[in-house]
Structure 1
Amino acid sequence: MPEAPGPALPAARTVVGTVLVAGGTGFIGGAVVRALKDHAERHGGPGVRALSSRGAPAGTSTGPVTHLAADLTRPGTLRGVCEGATTLVHAASYVGRDSERCEAVNRLGTVALLAEARRAGVRRVLYVSTASVYGTGPHRGPDEGALSPRPASAASASRLHAERAVLAAGGVVLRPHLVYGEGDRWLIPALAAMARAVPDWPVAGHPLTSAISVTDLARCVAALALAPGGPEGPEIHHLADPRPLPVSRLVRAAHDLLGMPPPAGAIAPETHRSRLAEALPSLSAHQYALLTRDHWYDSRKVWRRTGRDPGPGFAHRFAESRGWYAGYLGL
């Protein structure tokens, strides 16, 4: 049974202080910063601090956002970044295949950041992890306590270590699965590359998945960051639209974006995988499985916790980001 939800959070009350977002210029962290900035402009707070390895991007109009430069792999640069912050949102992760960098950024970097947060007296920590810590499915609707993590990549394994450090510190771990929207350089671009390489799709390859737009993910994270009261952790939440999304809708969206007809779905799965492996050797077996097997998770708990609506769903949110995807893919 899903864990009983806590009380819903009021819509406009906020904690007093500053929210520090590590990875605040990245895909997810940047969206969280924008959500917090929007709240600050409408409600007069909180202070927002965006931490990244390069500081403010060129041409950034900061408004209520302060940009800081620090490197998780160099703990000395983190000194002082948490001073005056009441909440830390940790969204800085390395998701590539370099195992040494996974260890340096995701595991050791998280430990160093938590040590600085503890020294500065930060009251609440939220860590944006990944449902990929569960490994390769199929997974069909488990709640947060139903599966034992079995990470299938160095990135996921190191993020699981980071989760454990956050939970030991009394923090909250958030596990999204597939995230799309402005700034997505993996999900829809990967499906577009697959469509170009092999226009067909496997006969039985239309599973269900957990997905969420980066906009709705950021709204939820901001609601947790701004909740009145003390820390809620240690706790784990799946973070996705609670309505499982057919992967066929993602595939059709990629084909439509490319101006291609929908895939025929007329080849055997082993033939599809073999042809893709030859055409796109960079697509790992784990990544392929994430797109061709059921991977959906019960995510109702976090929406009950925040009292927020999960958003209008894939069709609406993909339409909002279509122009960005077209520009990124050079269409």
Structure 2
Amino acid sequence: MTVTSLRGRTEKVTRADADAVLVVGGTGFIGGAVLRELSRTHGTSDGLPRLHALSRKPMRAAEATGAHHVVGDLADPRTLRGVCSGIGTVIHAASYLGRDARQCDAVNHAGTRALLDEACRAGVRNFIYVSTASVYGTGPHRGHREGELRTAPTSPASTSRLRAEGLVRAAGGTVLRPHLVYGVGDRWFVPTLVRMLRGVPFWPTGAPARISAIAVEDLARVVAGLAWRPRSHGDGDTYHAADPRPLSMESLIARLRADLGLPEVGRLPIAEHRAQLRRVMPGLSDHQHALLTQDHWYDADRVWQRIGLDPGPGFEERFAACSSWYAEHVASRPGA
């Protein structure tokens, strides 16, 4: 029988099992950072593997962190049977972000449901799902706390992830909603902004937009903090995951100009800016354009209070540590 709640435990979990963590999505940008953070803070007193990583193929990240590799595919629930056996915490950081609606449903929604079923069947105590603030849709959004905004996703990926969130909360798991994440391995946020500025060296007129952003290593600290400090069984809560200090896009653009040699930026009315970008970046959606040019920042104090950690040094120091990687990555991509 399929168990649909983390409250309905069906297997006895030993004290050692309660410390075991399964990371789903360890080959990805966020999941890989989570694996590295957990390996740094995770103990294995009896020499047994306490950190597990699930992926479809062998992964170098698992080998580098000493994690035990588990084969499984969210798009094929049959491969997930038994993957949560002996696990105390599941961290689900895997998503399909393309525009194929069927694939979004198969991986993000149905895959999460199948993983939850396995977690509940195995008696997992703590399930953490890394979702996205894009479930709120297009803003502007300014300083809203969790529960104050209606969800209005605009893409198949965000729609399917919102449905997955509902499953996780109903089962008693925890949902994280980061907005924009930067750092080594980022293939969308900063690279997209660089392509925009090179293709159209202008920015919309008006007050500089502010956004919620977080360095990937700080997001990993949030996830690890929730893993090591679980609440009572069946929390079912949602948190914004960001640096609580909103980032000015004007400051970010100035930093990119200094570090990556981007051209001086002029000003255009926002409608004209959007029209020019449609010609040079036809794949950039209206929603994605708005995410980078309008206010999208959220109150993220609760999650830092919840885990009892400092948010970190902030954008300037975090970006300085990864700017050389961005310089190399952006330079190596034609059109970037």
- Normalized against structure 2, the TM-score is what? 0.89
User: Residue 48 in 1 paired to residue 51 in 2?
Assistant: yes
Cα 1:196–1:33 change in 2 (3 A) is: same
Counterpart for residue 317 of structure 1: 318
| Conservation of the 8 A alpha-carbon contact between 2:104 and 2:160 | yes
CA deviations over 1:235-260 (Å, ceiling 9, x no partner): 01001000111112222233334312
Q: Distance in 1 between matches of 2:110 and 2:66?
A: 30
2:217 to 215, 218, 221: 215
| Conservation of the 8 A alpha-carbon contact between 2:176 and 2:238 | yes
Counterpart for residue 68 of structure 1: 70
Aligned-partner SS, 1:194: helix
Q: Distance in 1 between matches of 2:79 and 2:26?
A: 16
CA-atom RMSD in angstroms: 2.0
Q: Distance in 2 between matches of 1:158 and 1:223?
A: 26
Cα 1:192–1:282 change in 2 (3 A) is: same
CA deviations over 1:201-237 (Å, ceiling 9, x no partner): 1112621110000000000110100115643621010
How do 1:23-102 and structure 2 match up within 5 A?
23-40=25-42, 47-57=50-60, 61-102=63-104
- Measure how far apart 1:42 and its partner are: 9.6
- Measure how far apart 1:44 and its partner are: 8.4
Counterpart for residue 105 of structure 2: 103
| Conservation of the 8 A alpha-carbon contact between 2:35 and 2:65 | no
CA deviations over 1:7-28 (Å, ceiling 9, x no partner): xxxxxxx994211011011111
| Conservation of the 8 A alpha-carbon contact between 1:15 and 1:227 | no
Counterpart for residue 11 of structure 1: none
Q: Distance in 1 between matches of 2:282 and 2:46?
A: 50
Aligned-partner SS, 2:91: strand
Q: Distance in 2 between matches of 1:184 and 1:73?
A: 24
Counterpart for residue 254 of structure 1: 256
- Measure how far apart 1:48 and its partner are: 1.0
Matched to 1:54, the amino acid is: K
1:133 to 135, 139, 149: 135
Cα 1:174–1:44 change in 2 (3 A) is: farther
Is 276-285 or 197-206 further displaced after alignment?
197-206
Aligned-partner SS, 1:201: strand
- Measure how far apart 1:78 and its partner are: 0.7
Is 28-37 or 246-255 further displaced after alignment?
246-255
Q: Distance in 1 between matches of 2:162 and 2:229?
A: 25
| Conservation of the 8 A alpha-carbon contact between 1:256 and 1:262 | no
Moved over 6 A (4+): 42-46
Q: Distance in 1 between matches of 2:36 and 2:216?
A: 11
| Conservation of the 8 A alpha-carbon contact between 1:129 and 1:175 | yes
Q: Distance in 1 between matches of 2:182 and 2:233?
A: 29
Q: Distance in 1 between matches of 2:130 and 2:180?
A: 13
| Conservation of the 8 A alpha-carbon contact between 2:26 and 2:62 | no
Aligned-partner SS, 1:147: coil
Aligned-partner SS, 1:322: helix
- Normalized against structure 1, the TM-score is what? 0.90
Q: Distance in 1 between matches of 2:75 and 2:64?
A: 26
- Measure how far apart 1:50 and its partner are: 1.0
Identity of aligned residues (%): 53
Structure 1 segments unaligned to the other structure (5+ residues): 1-13
| Conservation of the 8 A alpha-carbon contact between 2:136 and 2:149 | yes
- Measure how far apart 1:41 and its partner are: 5.7
Aligned-partner SS, 2:290: helix
Q: Distance in 1 between matches of 2:179 and 2:114?
A: 26
Cα 1:228–1:296 change in 2 (3 A) is: closer
CA deviations over 1:282-328 (Å, ceiling 9, x no partner): 11110000001110111100000000011111111111111221222
Cα 1:23–1:247 change in 2 (3 A) is: same
Q: How many correspondences in the alignment? A: 316
- Measure how far apart 1:63 and its partner are: 4.6
| Conservation of the 8 A alpha-carbon contact between 1:88 and 1:126 | yes
Counterpart for residue 297 of structure 1: 298
Aligned-partner SS, 1:85: coil
Counterpart for residue 273 of structure 1: 274
Counterpart for residue 157 of structure 2: 155
Matched to 2:53, the amino acid is: A
Structure 2 segments unaligned to the other structure (5+ residues): 1-15
